[in-house]
Structure formats: structure tokens, C-alpha cells
Amino acid sequence: MWLGLAGTTVAAGGFLFFASTIERGTRRDVARADAIVALTGGALRVQAAGELLASGKAGRLFITGVNPATSRTDIARTFADIAHFMDCCVELDYEAANTIGNAVQTRQWMDRKGYRSLILVTSAYHMPRTMLEFEAIMPDIQISAYPVVSDTVQLDGWWADGSTFRILAGEYVKFLFAWMRTRLAVYADISVPGFAQALASRHVVLWFKT
């Protein structure tokens, strides 16, 4: 009984700490990098990445996890800041199906380009896990986080908003799994990039979306 209570207390405390560390305010400025990487999953992510590209924060934008039904024309039509750069400076990834896949595809793209630094753009609540996955698979790359605050996630007073609470709770569980997986891979002397690439494969079925 006491063991179960202690476990519950630790889990609850960890969740409260996780929720409290998610950025809520104005996006902070970032230094210029070789590339900007935007994860799909919200229009504001791609919009923010386009603004960074237009402001000269990097010379190339990589959008990973694009829906196969979405064309380059669709993206140019939707995001004005990207339209002007679409032909010269924007590349799309249609392979990634989850956050692990985003990291794998980005690693491969960075290697092909010879880039050594990137600005990572995703939702604020998604950033802790995304940074964990990206840093595990590309420890030699300088990664600057650029969290985007979503209009649909009420981070102020999240405990009183059922939808936000469920999103954060689900993300916390995924973060814990990602943390354990990357640490176990290291301790077992398994190549983290190779392990992640296997999990990111479309032939591997996970019981939860990562």
C-alpha cells in the first residue's frame, strides 16, 4: 500500500514538474543556424518556421512528417512567409510517421547537407520529448529549441481545462517512455540512432503513437 502510494506521489510530482517547465510566454530569440526544422502537427509550427526563414535565421527549412496528400503548392498557398522561398530553400519529408521518425529523417537530411546546427520548431508541450529524441540521435548537432504556444492548449490554468490536462498527461507518459528507451539503449551499449531508426520504421507497430 505504502509503496503504491509513494509511486503515485512520485508520478504526480513528476507530472507537475513537467507541466510547470513547458514554456508559456513569448518565443525567445534564437541565434542563426544552418537550418530550421519544423515538425508537422499544427499550422502554427510551420507558420513560425516560415517566419524564422523569412527573417534570415537560417538558409534552409526542412518540414518533417508532411501528410502525403499535402503538396508543395498547398504549403505555399497556406503560408505566405514560405511561398517566396518554396523553390529555393524548403524541403519536405513525407516519410516520418512519429517523433522518432522526425528525428531519424532530420538526422539523415542534416548529414546529406553537411549541416551542424538547427533551430527546432514544434509545439511548446511537445518540445521536451522532441528535444530528447533529437539530442539522442544527433548528439553532435547544435540544437536550439523554438517552442510554439498553441491556441488550443491552455497552459495557464491547465489543471482546470480538461482537454489541456489530457494532452499534457498523454505527453508526459510518452516523454517517460522516450526517456527510458533512450537511456536503456545507451546503458545496453546499443546504437541509439540505429535503435531509433528501427522504431521509426513503418514496418514496426507500436502500441502507442510516438
Q: What pTM was estimated for this model as a whole?
A: 0.81
Does position 205 have pLDDT exceeding 80, yes or no?
no
Distance, in Å, from the CA atom of 202 to the CA atom of 200, rounded to the nearest integer, reads 6
Reported as a pLDDT band with limits 50, 70 and 90, residue 167 is confident
Share of the chain above pLDDT 90, in %: 53
What residue ranges do the domains of the chain occupy? Answer: 26-200
pLDDT number for residue 200? 55
Burial class, 59, CB count within 10 angstroms (exposed 0-12 / middle 13-18 / buried 19+): middle
Helix (H) or strand (E) holding 142: strand 142-148
Contact (CB, 8 A) for 119 and 52:
yes
Show the cell assigned to 103.
528525428
Classify domain 26-200 at the CATH superfamily level.
Answer: HUPs (3.40.50.620)
If one compares 126 and 9, the residue with the highest pLDDT of the two is 126
Helix (H), strand (E) counts: the chain: 9, 5
Q: pLDDT for 85-119, tens place per residue?
A: 999 999 999 999 999 999 999 999 999 999 999 99
Segment 181-188 mean pLDDT:
65
Q: pLDDT for 9-40, tens place per residue?
A: 545 556 666 666 666 655 668 999 999 999 99
